[in-house]
């Protein structure tokens, strides 16, 4: 290496060191670097927000639409026959089969059933879980029915959350055209919440 190349390299290193020093990227030799010690702070437990209640507005709208759809699709004449003739009628298996099929359309559905509203009393007619441990019996009174069923239901409605002897639900109810004049017949759809 020649003397001039050594001088050029040294000058270049001197210029780079000066640039870095001016830019604050290095510290001149001999200055102590202060040690930063974290200041202790009081530790607090993080506040866990209360779990908000689920927004059931959309769920009510959904279950109301399900009830209205099922009310249109169910064989209302057969349901009227079941109401007047009981579970031994030839129409009973037809209605039960439809309710079981309705329940199978959505895994969130806990129960699908039909009700009679007459003189302020609500009674079950056919339940998709008929003859099962959790099912309701024919014309079994529904004493802890939602308060919205105290008056005859004339259009699809969504109710809940409410709690009855089967659990806590958001439900949809819709009237079924059965041809019977003296009673209101409903289909009910429950989704557990």
> Which DSSP category does 155 fall into?
S
Rounded Cα–Cα distance for residues 153 and 157 (Å):
8
Tens digits of residue pLDDT in 130-174: 989 888 999 999 989 999 999 999 999 999 999 999 999 999 999
Task: Return the pLDDT at 42.
Answer: 53
CA-CA distance, 190 to 193, in Å (whole number)?
Answer: 9
Q: What are phi and psi of 66, to 5 degrees?
A: -60, -45
pLDDT over 50 at 175, yes or no: yes
- Give all domains of the chain, ordered by start, each with its CATH number: 57-192 (3.30.450.20)
Q: What are the DSSP E strand ranges found in the chain?
A: 109-118, 121-127, 157-164, 167-175, 184-192
Tell me the three state secondary structure of residue 72: helix
3-state helix vs strand vs coil in the chain, percent to 5: 35, 25, 45
Q: Is the pLDDT of residue 181 over 60?
A: yes
16: pLDDT confidence band, cut at 50, 70 and 90?
very low
Cα(116)–Cα(96) distance, integer angstroms: 16
- Summarised one tens digit per residue, pLDDT across range 20-56 is 455 554 455 555 555 555 555 555 555 555 544 557 8
Residue 136 CB partners (closer than 8 Å, separation 6+): 113, 124, 127, 129, 130, 142
Report the C-alpha gap between 175 and 155 in whole angstroms. 6
Rounded Cα gap, residues 9 and 16, in angstroms: 11
Query: What is the spatial distance between Cα 166 and Cα 193, in angstroms, rounded to a whole number?
Result: 12
Give the per-residue pLDDT at 38.
57
Q: What is the pLDDT of residues 46-91, one digit of tens each?
A: 555 554 455 789 999 999 999 999 999 999 999 999 999 999 999 9
pLDDT of residue 98: 96
Give mean pLDDT, residues 7-31. 50
- Quick one: which of 167, 150, 151, 169 has its CA closest to 159? 169
What radius of gyration do the chain's Cα atoms show? 37
Of 128, 72, 140, 132, the closest CA to residue 100 belongs to: 128
């Amino acid at each position: 290496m020649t003397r001039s190349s050594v001088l050029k390299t040294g000058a270049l290193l001197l210029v780079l060191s000066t640039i870095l020093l001016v830019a604050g990227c290095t510290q001149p030799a001999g200055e102590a670097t202060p040690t930063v010690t974290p200041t202790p702070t009081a530790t607090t437990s993080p506040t866990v927000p209360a779990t908000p209640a689920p927004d059931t507005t959309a769920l009510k709208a959904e279950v109301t639409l399900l009830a209205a759809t099922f009310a249109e699709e169910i064989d209302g004449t057969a349901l009227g026959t079941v109401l007047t003739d009981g579970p031994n009628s030839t129409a009973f298996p037809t209605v039960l089969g439809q309710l079981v099929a309705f329940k199978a359309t959505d895994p969130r559905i806990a129960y699908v059933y039909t009700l009679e509203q007459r003189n302020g009393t609500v009674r079950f007619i056919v339940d998709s879980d008929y003859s099962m441990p959790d099912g309701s019996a024919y014309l079994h009174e529904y004493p802890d029915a939602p308060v919205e069923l105290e008056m005859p239901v004339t259009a699809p409605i969504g109710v809940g959350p409410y709690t009855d002897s089967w659990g806590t639900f958001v439900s949809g109810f819709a009237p079924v055209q059965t041809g019977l004049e003296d009673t209101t017949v409903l289909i009910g759809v429950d989704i557990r919440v």
